[in-house]
Amino acid sequence: MSDGTTLPPLSLHIPEPKARPGEAPDFGEMHLSPAGAVQRPAATAPETDLRFYPYQLIRVLDDEHQALGDWDPKLDTQTLLKGLRYMMLTRAYDERMVLVQRQGKTSFYMKSTGEEAVAVAQAMALDRGDMLFPSYRQQGLLVARDWPLLDMMCQVLNNHRDRLKGRQLPVMYSARDAGFFSISGNLGTQFPQAVGWAMASALKGDTRIAAAWVGDGTTAEGDFHHALTFASVYQAPVLLNVVNNQWAISTFQGFAGGERATFAQRALGFGIPGMRVDGNDFLAVYAVTAWAAERARRNLGPTLIELVTYRAAPHSTSDDPSAYRPQTEAAQWPLGDPIDRLMRHLVACGHWNEARHQALTRELDDYVKAQLKEAESHGTLGTSKHSPDSMFEDVFKDVPIHLQRQRREMQEG
């Protein structure tokens, strides 16, 4: 250097997760605010008063399963039981569909195990008219909007009742009537699209808001930043959710920047609120979502929400996580399991018990099985399909001449 000191040569930092297969999981450095410790600001608070939230973790349920602090959304028992039911139904559905894939009745499946509170609590905290732009891991949104499992199953099976005409990979749902945008296989693209929808809603003087989801890994894509820029510039009424489930296939969240800062902190540079919430705490997720939704509805603009959770299942049926992370990691995740935690809270409040829980588990499993039976009666991948002619439809509104010709060519064999 100019003052004569010699520095050691440069060296590149390559992130490394705390534990690999065979090593003990280590979440020691994770900052966990105690339940109830983080105060709830008014939904109308100016962004300048909110800059400390990205460093916190909003939690309501404590280790004794009590709801603490002013983020407690004080939901009635009915609503809590509904939430529990939706989360359990989502899990039962996931479990069953993986079996279906293993039986060769479809090609692929993705579970949301351990992350059910994210989609279910968020769907419940939003209005039915709000528009959802999910990634592939928020099937709970559809479940919580009472969308028929049968319809979802027919998509997964790609049978002739599949409204998407067998065109999409399983779980890439689309449900316009549920306010659920068509899922793209390309990561992150929906994030700025949600902002555009929200901008349009504001342009038209509508009352509806939008919400979008990406994973921790996906925050590295340009589209994540496009979303924040446009949301900030136009103060669009949108909830931008980052589901930090710690992993992106084999890559831990440190490769998306999680070693340096929380994902909620990204909001700071854009001058929008960033909230960081215990994603396995149904009550906290509900409360933060409702807070951000109120803000958006009051025309106070977007919020970035980081939901801290853990991808307990493999990335997909094509993945084997034992090759890259300790097998016991999920069990040692400090924020527990969302279904278990809400269940214990309800038990602690005297609204629920083991027998009822088991009965509900059986009931939902039977329900899923019955729905599946019906879905399979409409065929499974390969045994029933849409006519090959349909392949040429919907590329455009009308089938143009060159596709008409190609269709004829196909028909002639």
Partner 1 sequence: MAAMNMIQAINSAIDTTMERDENVVVFGEDVGYFGGVFRCTAGLQKKYGKKRVFDSPISEGGIMATAIGMGVYGLRPVTEIQFADYIYPAFDQLVSEAARLRYRSGGEFFAPLTVRSPCGGGIFGGQTHSQSPESMFTHVCGLKTVMPSNPYDAKGLLITAIEDDDPVVFFEPKRIYNGPFDGHHERPLTPWSKHAMGEVPEAYYKIPLGKAAIVRPGEKLTVITYGTMVHVCLAAVEQAQVDAEVIDLRSLLPLDLDTIVDSVKKTGRCVIVHEATRTCGFGAELMAVVQENCFWSLEAPIERVTGWDTPYPHALEWAYFPGPDRVAKALKKVAEA
Q: Does 248 bind Mg ion (CB under 5 A)?
A: yes
Selected binder of partner 1 within 107, 174, 235, 361 (CB under 8 A)? 107
Selected binder of partner 1 within 33, 235, 250, 361 (CB under 8 A)? 250
Nearest residue (CB) to partner 1, 361 versus 406: 406
Q: Which stretch binds partner 1 (CB under 8 A): 14-22, 38-46, 54-62, 277-285?
A: 14-22
Q: Does 218 bind ligand TPP (CB under 6 A)?
A: yes
Of the candidates 253, 217, 186, 205, the residue with the CA atom closest to the CA atom of residue 18: 253
Would you say the C-alpha torsion 364, 366, 367, 368 has a positive or negative sign?
Answer: positive
Q: How near is the Cβ of 248 to Mg ion at its closest, in Å?
A: 5
**Residue/partner pairs of 153-157 with CB below 8 Å, 24 or more apart:** 153/97, 153/371, 153/372, 153/375, 154/375, 154/378, 156/97, 156/100, 156/106, 156/109, 157/100, 157/105, 157/106, 157/375, 157/376, 157/378, 157/379, 157/380, 157/381
Nearest residue (CB) to partner 1, 180 versus 392: 392
Instruction: Give residues 245-304 in contact with ligand TPP (rule: CB under 6 A).
Output: 245, 247-249
Nearest residue (CB) to Mg ion, 193 versus 245: 245
Q: Which residue is nearest to ligand TPP (CB)?
A: 215
Residue 395 CB neighbours (<10 A): 10
Q: Percent helix, strand and coil across the chain, each rounded to 5? A: 45, 10, 50
8 Å CB contact between 152 and 173: yes
Q: How near is the Cβ of 215 to ligand TPP at its closest, in Å?
A: 2
Q: Which stretch binds partner 1 (CB under 8 A): 26-34, 91-99, 159-167, 286-294?
A: 159-167
Q: Which stretch binds Mg ion (CB under 5 A): 60-68, 71-79, 242-250, 316-324?
A: 242-250
Which tokens in the block code for residue 394? 């919907």
Nearest residue (CB) to partner 1, 327 versus 358: 327
Q: Does 185 bind partner 1 (CB under 8 A)?
A: yes
Secondary structure (DSSP) of 191-237: HHHHHHHHHHHHHTT----EEEEEETGGGGSHHHHHHHHHHHHHT-S
Q: Does 156 bind Mg ion (CB under 5 A)?
A: no
Of the candidates 388, 391, 373, the residue with the CA atom closest to the CA atom of residue 105: 373
Q: Which stretch binds partner 1 (CB under 8 A): 35-43, 48-56, 72-80, 162-170?
A: 162-170
Instruction: Give residues 298-337 in contact with ligand TPP (rule: CB under 6 A).
Output: 311, 315
Q: Give the list of residues 6+ apart from residue 256 with CB closer than 8 angstroms, or none.
A: 216, 217, 218, 219, 220, 248, 263
Q: Does 181 bind partner 1 (CB under 8 A)?
A: no
Instruction: Give residues 197-226 in contact with Mg ion (rule: CB under 5 A).
Output: 215-217
Phi and psi at residue 20, to the nearest 5°? -115, 175
Residue 324 CB neighbours (<10 A): 15
Residues of this chain that interact with partner 1 (CB under 8 A) are: 12, 14-16, 20, 107-108, 158, 162, 165-170, 172, 184-187, 217-218, 220-223, 248-251, 255-257, 318, 323-324, 381-382, 385-386, 388, 390-392, 395, 402-403, 406, 410, 413
Residues of this chain that interact with ligand TPP (CB under 6 A) are: 137, 185-187, 214-218, 243, 245, 247-249, 311, 315
